[in-house]
Amino acid sequence: MALEEYKKEFIEFMIDCEVLRFGDFVTKSGRRTPFFVNTGFYRTGTQLNRLGEYYAKAIQDAFGFDFDILFGPAYKGIPLAVATTMAISEYYDTDIRYCSNRKEIKDHGDKGILLGSPIRDHDRVVIIEDVTTAGTSIGETLPIIRAQGDVDVLGLVVSVDRMERGTGNKSALKEIEENYGLKTTAIVTMKEVVEHLYNRTYHGRVVIDDSLKRAIDAYYEQYGAE
């Protein structure tokens, strides 16, 4: 099945923004990896505008827009939620509220743990994150959302599914689906990234050559999900 055009564009967009890099890295979970995704490298208004469009498309495909709040966990999830709700408004003429949490509760002014829209009873919520490797952050995020009232958390959208094991043999996103009853989706998977870039010239160079492909394959032999 051919890769959708917006997915190809997004993969190349990540390279242009230096968000997707190849080399020798160590993930937050301590795994040595030949590729790394860091959404902290989206740094300009133009980049965030485009990123919001890609997230909006992925959300439309997986969830539609029949929900109330897009929740972005602090800190990286805050600009993701803002950019994506703006894109949904601009390109799909739908007003979704955004909400994020603070790491520290304010002791003055607007006290509380939330930024943006309050979460009310019966709100339907989709969570937006950058990349889920081991699935630990969702366990911190869900209690914050559910403490706000009787809400329905529909699912989680990330930019890249690394397609590696979480705490067991299944992928982190699959574990989230099974453990928390959430639907999960990603703009692209690493399988799609490799499929699009392997032995393909982009900006005058082959991004994933045979040597890098072997390193990626070896990584997935060790850490790949079932």
- Eight-state DSSP code of residue 17: T
Provide the phi-psi class of 111: left if phi over 0, else alpha when psi is between -120 and 50, else beta: beta
**CB of 128 within 8 A of CB of 97?**
no
Identified catalytic residue from 7, 8, 57, 108: 108
Does the annotation mark 122 as catalytic?
no
**Is residue 172 within 8 Å of residue 226, measured between CB atoms?**
no
**Among residues 7, 8, 57, 106, which one is catalytic?**
106
For strands 124-128 and 152-161, give the pairing.
parallel
Quick one: CA torsion of 109, 112, 115, 119, rounded to 10 degrees? -130
- Gap between the Cα atoms of 90 and 100, Å rounded: 21
Q: Is 41 helix (H, G, I), strand (E, B) or coil?
A: helix
Please choose, from the candidates 222, 162, 215, 211, the residue with its C-alpha nearest in 3D space to the C-alpha of residue 186: 162
Conformation bin of residue 53: beta by default, left when phi > 0, alpha when psi is -120 to 50:
alpha
Contact 166, 138 (CB under 8 A): no
Residues making up the chain, counted from first to last: 226
Active site residue 108: yes
Catalytic residues: 106, 108
